[in-house]
Chain A
């Protein structure tokens, strides 16, 4: 059996897995890659799965107001799939390039006003409103194809969940630096 047949595929698996471990644990800078992704074996090992990462943001409206946004992306259609892919990338590897790409996509979208109650109602958990009232802002903007608002600038930041098993408390901590994207 030739050497490439003996060691080629396993060598490739090992090389990718080592790279993934370095990117998810060592850096460069703050390690941004989710341990669950990138061809390694960190899934079902840490809390920091892409599904446990969230993106916050703030948009600058045409009237000069800075309004927090909620990233509930519209579904359906090729553009929506591309937006979802950009968001998936930001969740798995939130480097500045990924955040800028998502930001540019979001700037081309329309935006509709939304309240915490409306957002929670839409995802089917309105009973959690007491949790957010008082801390969350009263008014948000969310992407909507026919939304009346336009944004000229958007700042995005990725967060990961942090879990303290001794008191069963979960919070969000920032992952990397916020990135501001200005409309072209």
Chain B
């Protein structure tokens, strides 16, 4: 097993990062089926053809297709599709010259820092996060978060599902003057605030940690923070494309001599892909 890892990791980081990026774009291409298909075809060819993972012209084509998919539906497309586009742009720029690995690493670090910095700013300025409004609503209505709500407050999955039904009924008749009162549990509000502050602290710390890497590239902690964040977040909310692109960017900027960290990135990618099976929340709620 160890030699398998060693053989895999002996490849240049840029080679693995570019190939992982192609797998990412093959699995999660543009939402628009008209453009998703060409992206899939191009990335498949680039993965199979010798040397094509570094083809500048093919990367331009992939990036253009992703950009064209964003354009007409910019207002309703998922945000990680934007991130996929930016990362494809990074790959395109990177394969153009001899600095491929440096460009991938620099941008991977910077994009991760910006993603978490901007997510933190939104949470601070959005108006419904720090006061617990958003998390209270989610804990009461999203059964994926039962793993957080049930052990801490005693709110049952059945109650969360009943609340979701109330919301669905309310949304079928908007403007009819209806209001619904959700089933709640003691301590929900306080727990929501704790989770809110905790998330802001973690995401803010990730932004600072990845910016700090520019001055202290010897630090390994930011990598492990990102891996832990991916494991925790995407096992609850399986937004696979987002989890995958963060993992690829993290791997791309991880120095080649960090064997364990790079293995952890690869394993976290596999873990995130298994998240839709929801086996972790199931195990915790069953036996916890």
Contact of A8 with B126 in the complex, beta carbons under 8 Å: no
Contact of A6 with B106 in the complex, beta carbons under 8 Å: yes
Contact of A168 with B184 in the complex, beta carbons under 8 Å: yes
Interface residues on A, range: 35 or more
Write the chain B residue with the least CB distance to A94. Answer: B75
Map CB proximity to B onto A118-131 as digits: 1 under 8 Å, 0 otherwise: 01100101011001
Interface contact tally, CB-CB below 8 A: 201
Contact of B99 with A1 in the complex, beta carbons under 8 Å: yes
Contact partner, B76, options A35, A52, A72, A88, Cβ 8 Å? A88
Contact of B75 with A37 in the complex, beta carbons under 8 Å: yes
| Docked pose: A52 CA to B129 CA in angstroms | 16
Q: Report if B283 contacts A (CB, 8 A).
A: no
Most buried by A among B111, B168, B169: B169
Contact partner, B110, options A10, A42, A43, A157, Cβ 8 Å? A10
Interface of A is mostly: mixed
Contact of A169 with B181 in the complex, beta carbons under 8 Å: yes
Known: A14-B114, A163-B137. Is A136-B181 also a contact (CB below 8 A)? no
Residues in A neighbouring B188, C-beta threshold 8 A? 168
Contact of A131 with B171 in the complex, beta carbons under 8 Å: no
Q: Report if A9 contacts B (CB, 8 A).
A: yes
> Could you list some 18 contacts between A and B, CB below 8 A?
A1-B102, A5-B99, A13-B86, A37-B78, A44-B237, A45-B122, A45-B134, A46-B129, A92-B75, A92-B76, A120-B169, A128-B169, A131-B170, A135-B173, A163-B137, A165-B133, A168-B184, A171-B170
Given A10-B114, A44-B138, A172-B174, 20 new contacts (CB under 8 A): A4-B93, A5-B106, A6-B106, A12-B89, A13-B86, A13-B115, A14-B114, A21-B122, A45-B119, A46-B126, A46-B129, A56-B174, A85-B73, A89-B73, A116-B173, A136-B178, A170-B166, A170-B167, A170-B182, A172-B178
